[in-house]
Structure 1
Amino acid sequence: MTLPTPLTGVVPPVCTPLTPDSEVDVPSLTRLVDHLVGAGVDGLFVLGSTSEVAYLPDGHRRTVMETVVRHVAGQLPVLAGAIDMTTLRVLDHVRAAERAGADAVVVTAPYYTRTHPAEIARHFRLVAAASGVPVFAYDQPASVPLKLGADLVLELAAEGVLAGLKDSSGDEGGFRQVLLGARARTDISGFGVLTGSELTVDSALAMGADGVVPGLGNVDPEGYVRLYRSCRAGDWERARAEQERLCGLFGMVEVGDPARMGRSSSALGAFKAALHLRGVIACPATAAPQIPLSSSEVERVGKYLAAAGLL
């Protein structure tokens, strides 16, 4: 399908359901897609951080892309993460995404090795030159050594290298700089700016963001759709109430004991436990070496769901 420019709305980063032996659970993945599409989301982003892309071998990545694109069958756009350490490896993922039929790719700056801003710019230019689909930049400084600066993002947008930005930096000032710059420059058009910060969607949309990519949207896609539509309708009181309800639900990401697991194990484990409790996926397993939640931690996830009216 043709990607709307700019891309707008709620575009959840789709979790990757796994079997107990760490294979992609295809039936659960298609149920999850139906769960999201049925809620009225505007697009799907596979193979991002919430999809556990960093933990998945290439075969799993291909299975996820092919399954989701085939199952969606053009109902809405599918963006695929082409995320890896260096440009040549990213280009392999771009080609795989194109073969699978993805409508766009989402790319971080190179990581593992330290890079200069000029090398980051060259990376995105080379990827865009070789890609047959639009390229979105993914600003994820928690995992990538350098944050994507507003000036660089705007320069690449003006060149037509980037179709949009998914900003998960948590830097609201820098996010606003991109929004203001994209609005002010006459050489930028159709550039989509999406926030990845689940807890400040109402303020991001008030600033002029085009949409949201919420990991928690796997668990409660209807809530994010209501939030987005309330903001677009100018009903800021209703939007704030919905955002605050979602902030309460987001507390589930902290259920994991930090003495025995990292934040990724806790957050992604909570999302998958919630989807399992809601009957969407068959197994809440996360990819190794993440540590599974205990039964008492899963029970706490259930309490968050109940408090939010989801159980």
Structure 2
Amino acid sequence: MVTPCKEPGEVDPSAMRRLAELVSSQGCDGLFVLGSTGEMILLDESDRRAIVTAAAEGAAGAAAVMVGVGGYGVKQAIRFARFAQQDGADYAIAMAPFFQRLSQAELLGYFVELAEQSPLPIGIYHHLRMTTSVDVETFGELASHPNILLCKDTSNDLNRMRQLLAATEGQNFRVLQGIEMLILDSLNAGAHGCVSALAGIAPQWHRTLIDSFKSGNTENAQASHAQIAELTQLFQIPEIRISLAHQVHALKHSAKSLGLFERSASMLTKFQATREFEQAIENILLQSGLLTLAK
């Protein structure tokens, strides 16, 4: 989920609370806050805690609150996990340590140490921007730890998804797809669900996709997948390639256009979006039918 801001660089806990309540009420089983879409690297500890508290209050038990605890080392990740537990979260979601290249044995040790000291269950976020990739074999070992319960994979590789499912089969471990275009194929392969940035603006489409798949309604599942696929055009706007801030703004401006919150300010205080960029976002919302539904 995005992190709403009152002004550039100033988080808006009230807007986060309302957004969490809305997304939870429309059927999302979990809310992932302080991920890359949530601009976590730009938030200080007080901002992080305010946003997690607001999300937990908004969800009010209707959805699990998953909090990104990635950082520069295990001590920081443990501290973030403890804060998350104190602030009402249900899961701590960890990436590989920032800026450091680790061996798979070192990475395994990092996640295990975090899992053993975290007061919350751990999820592992495999993100392509991280310096160290989490290999399938490493996931196979991590899945046996009693406090490591899930992973989000954004490798954009369906074959890897199948390998992850095979490597973790029989464990108390859920494998979640993080690439919208692969959600339905991954469910067909045995994935347990998805963690989608677009679910923050179109939760009902994702809920319908999951429910239709589980009930065996292939036609409805494919229709929901097609709706979500149309919305992924947001990530093809040329400005998206300029910076992560542009990608986040595509989601924040979408949320603002849909009436989910009032302002689309960035945590980057000097970020500015052109009107042409925002018009392209609005056009995609209209073409997908999402903006029409909102109005």
Which TM-score applies when normalising by structure 1?
0.89
Alignment partners' CA distance in 1, 2:73 and 2:162: 28
Aligned to 2:263: 283
Matched, 1:45 2:25: no
Matched, 1:100 2:87: yes
Aligned to 1:194: 176
Given that 1:256 and 1:293 are in contact with CA atoms closer than 8 Å, whether structure 2 keeps it comes out as: no
Given that 2:37 and 2:197 are in contact with CA atoms closer than 8 Å, whether structure 1 keeps it comes out as: yes
CA drift of 1:256 comes to: 4.8
Match of 2:200 among 206, 218, 236: 218
Q: Tell me, what secondary structure is at the counterpart of 1:170?
A: coil
Matched, 1:268 2:255: no
Given that 1:44 and 1:77 are in contact with CA atoms closer than 8 Å, whether structure 2 keeps it comes out as: yes
Matched, 1:29 2:29: no
Matched, 1:68 2:55: yes
Given that 2:29 and 2:62 are in contact with CA atoms closer than 8 Å, whether structure 1 keeps it comes out as: no
Matched, 1:294 2:263: no
Aligned to 1:88: 75
Aligned to 2:226: 244
Match of 1:308 among 267, 279, 288: 288
Given that 1:139 and 1:148 are in contact with CA atoms closer than 8 Å, whether structure 2 keeps it comes out as: yes
Alignment partners' CA distance in 1, 2:206 and 2:50: 27
Q: Tell me, what secondary structure is at the counterpart of 1:51?
A: coil
The one-character-per-residue Cα deviations of 1:262-281 (angstroms, maximum 9, x if unpaired) are: 2x222211110011111111
Aligned-residue sequence identity (percent) comes to 26
Alignment partners' CA distance in 2, 1:21 and 1:268: 13
Aligned to 2:152: 166
Q: 1:222/1:267 Cα in 2 relative to 1: closer, same or farther (>3 Å)? A: same
Matched, 1:152 2:138: yes
Alignment partners' CA distance in 2, 1:173 and 1:258: 27
Q: Tell me, what secondary structure is at the counterpart of 1:84?
A: coil
The one-character-per-residue Cα deviations of 1:89-135 (angstroms, maximum 9, x if unpaired) are: 11111111111121110001112122111110110111011012111
Q: 1:277/1:100 Cα in 2 relative to 1: closer, same or farther (>3 Å)? A: same
Given that 2:32 and 2:68 are in contact with CA atoms closer than 8 Å, whether structure 1 keeps it comes out as: yes
Given that 2:11 and 2:51 are in contact with CA atoms closer than 8 Å, whether structure 1 keeps it comes out as: yes
Amino acid at match of 1:305: L
Given that 2:139 and 2:167 are in contact with CA atoms closer than 8 Å, whether structure 1 keeps it comes out as: no
Match of 1:208 among 190, 193, 197: 190
Q: 1:244/1:71 Cα in 2 relative to 1: closer, same or farther (>3 Å)? A: closer
Query: Which has the higher relative contact order, 1 or 2, with Cα contacts under 8 A spaced 6 or more apart?
Result: 1
Alignment partners' CA distance in 2, 1:251 and 1:86: 35
* Residue-pair matches, total: 291
CA RMSD of aligned residues (A): 1.7
Alignment partners' CA distance in 2, 1:258 and 1:160: 39
